[in-house]
Amino acid sequence: MRHDDDEMRRSVRLTLALPARCRSLNGFAQEVVIRDISVEGCRLISHSLSISPQAKVVIRPTGLEGLCGTVRWICGHEAGIEFDSPLYLPVVEHLHNRFASFLPPVVPFHRSGLRSLAA
């Protein structure tokens, strides 16, 4: 089940397109794209998610330290991650400003995986 009800959220989610790696505790890592972020968590997309709800993961955005969290929901190619420790709001705003994108709300997939994020 996907949780899109903004009234249930503790803070505003900011849209972006930030490449990252998601590693589960079993050591499996996959390429993902963070599509929105808040101080409490993020929504990521991947061509094939191999994580399950309640799994502990480390999300490592390109050029940043790993962010530890728990998978709260999965819907198709998307997953919601709640961070173990809230992020500092200026960091979230900086990421949004730096990685805000012209991409559509849904990043299309094709047979070879994620489309390139660079034009």
Q: Is 17 exposed, middle or buried (0-12, 13-18, 19+ CB in 10 A)?
A: middle
On whether residue 39 sits in a domain, the answer given is yes
- Between CA 20 and CA 78 the distance in angstroms is 14
The predicted model scores a pTM of 0.77
Taking a C-beta distance cutoff of 8 angstroms, is the pair 63, 71 a contact? no
The token pair at 80 is: 């919601």
On whether residue 76 sits in a domain, the answer given is yes
Whichever domain contains 71, its CATH number is 2.40.10.220
User: What domain range includes position 90?
Assistant: 6-103
Task: Tell me the pLDDT tens digit for each residue of 32-89.
Answer: 999 999 999 999 999 888 899 999 999 999 888 999 999 999 999 999 999 999 999 9
On whether residue 116 sits in a domain, the answer given is no
Count of domains forming the chain:
1
Instruction: Classify 63 in phi/psi space as left (phi over 0), alpha (psi -120 to 50) or beta.
Output: left
